[in-house]
Amino acid sequence: MTILLGSIADDYTGASDLANTLTKNGLRTVQTVGIPDPSLALPDVDAVVVSLKIRSVAAKDAVAAALEAESWLRGRGAGHVLYKICSTFDSTDLGNIGPVTEALLSVSGGHIALVTPAFPETGRTVYLGHLFVNGQPLDESPLKDHPLNPMRDANLARVLTRQSRGKVGLIDLPTVTDGADAVRARLDRLRAEGAAAAIADAVFERDLETLGKAALEMPVSTGASGLGLGLARALLRSGRASASDGENEAIRPVGGLAAVVAGSCSAATLKQLDAAELHMPVLRLDTEKLFAGSDEISAAIAWAGERIGEGPVAIAASAAPEVVSRLQARYGREASGHAVETATAAIAGELVERGVRRLVVAGGETSGATVDRLGIPAFLIGPEIAPGVPLLRTIGTGGNDMLLALKSGNFGGEDFFATALSMMR
């Protein structure tokens, strides 16, 4: 197996988002869950996205996992490795974007890394180093109150500097507009000045193409799926890859029951659950009871068992921001998040045991916990359900194939759950 492009994703939904983007832009792509076991037979592809859960872990653990994935990808021919981060730059002042980026640079020759979370298709743009979410500065958007990583600073150079040992520079929009050669020249100057990373502006899709062309000539870059778009198109235009459509196998019917499990507390997911009640039964878990040692999980499984034979059901541990804040104040941010992830993954696992083969999961941490619980080693990438969310078909599950959608909390329109299930057969 020889690949052209490798990627290390800091969570599972972000990995699906990137794999979706690469597939849409012509690269044959597989998403793995961690580093694959040598016994797993992967198809011949152009790109592999290794899914990790390193966004919110200790920086040293994130670095160790990323370096192991980088070694695996380089060993299979990857000339460029993209460290895939969230398009809202979810992180803290301790990391993990800076530490992982610098670690990847240290083992690849110590070049400078181009960094951008921009993805205009999903409303993420960067101008003068500041991140905008649907036209709002990051620190004025709903992400300022993110339950795990509240983002209170839109200046990405400042955010990344607080996480990094090296300097952080800026590639401004006029430079990007001047083309890939101008971007590379700017990177060379910044590197000579001691910078290890440079935040790159991008407002339009053509900016991503310019950045992808420039970044492809370096060993490492850091960004959201928008940068993946630029890298994929650069590979195709260079002649190193040929456009391919790999969706057909991924959408072959699997049958079985269907369900939605939600752990995200984002405003988008809460609206999607409200809309889902028009199409299916929805059970909203009492998140307080998840901490009280009650039989909330068993009751949820029993509730689903009475209804799922008639059609899809949804079970949600999603709660309004004020409820989340109260739980975090009482139990701690990490403990409250872990309780929700554990409960939703347990419910998803029980549903699959009872015949669910078509499953939609909402929330990055919830998706990660669920995929781990189910022991899924890899996915084929199917058609896009909504921007950033593809349909996924399991690989290496012993003939018990499933169709899944792993949705980041903020992604998708209000009818996302019904749309996703309608594409699964």
DSSP letters spanning 370-393: HHHHHT--EEEEEEEEETTEEEEE
Q: Give Cα separations from 122 to 21, 87, 164 (angstroms).
A: 12, 9, 27
The answer to whether the CB of 117 falls within 8 A of the CB of 222 is: no
pLDDT at 51: 96
Judged on CB neighbours under 10 Å (0-12, 13-18, 19+), 388 is buried
User: What is the predicted pLDDT for the residue at 248?
Assistant: 63
pLDDT for the residue 1: 65
Q: Hey, how many other C-beta atoms are within 10 angstroms of the C-beta on 30?
A: 25
Name every residue whose Cβ is closer than 8 Å to that of residue 67 and which is 6 or more positions away in sequence. Answer: 103, 104, 107
Those residues with Cβ within 8 angstroms of residue 275's Cβ, 6 or more apart along the chain or in another chain: 414, 415, 417, 418
pLDDT of residue 294: 66
Per the listing, tokens 């290496």 go with 396
CA–CA distance, 43 with 181 (Å, rounded to integer):
35
Residue type, 258: A
Q: What's 54's DSSP letter?
A: -
pLDDT at 59: 96
By CB atoms closer than 10 A (0-12, 13-18, 19+), residue 2 is: exposed
The reported pLDDT for the residue numbered 84 is: 98
In the chain, residues under CATH classification 3.40.50.10840 are 5-244
Strand bridging mode 220-223 / 80-84: parallel
| CA pair distance 422, 425, nearest whole angstrom | 7
Q: What is the pLDDT along the chain (425 residues), one digit of tens a residue?
A: 689 999 999 999 899 999 999 999 999 999 999 999 888 888 889 999 999 999 989 999 999 999 999 999 999 999 999 999 999 999 989 999 999 999 999 999 878 999 999 999 889 999 999 999 999 999 998 888 776 788 889 999 999 999 999 999 999 999 999 999 999 999 999 999 999 999 999 999 999 999 999 999 999 999 999 999 999 999 999 998 887 654 567 888 999 999 999 998 888 999 999 999 999 999 999 888 887 666 899 999 999 999 999 999 999 998 877 777 788 788 887 787 788 889 999 999 999 999 999 999 999 889 999 999 999 999 999 999 998 899 999 998 877 899 999 998 888 999 999 999 999 99
Q: Report the CATH superfamily, name and number, of domain 5-244.
A: Putative sugar-binding, N-terminal domain (3.40.50.10840)
How high is the pLDDT of residue 2?
85
CATH code of the domain made up of 252-423: 3.40.980.20
Residues spanned by CATH 3.40.980.20 within the chain?
252-423
* Distance, CA of 340 to CA of 289 (rounded, Å): 11
Q: Give every CB contact of residue 75 below 8 A, 6+ residues apart in sequence.
A: none
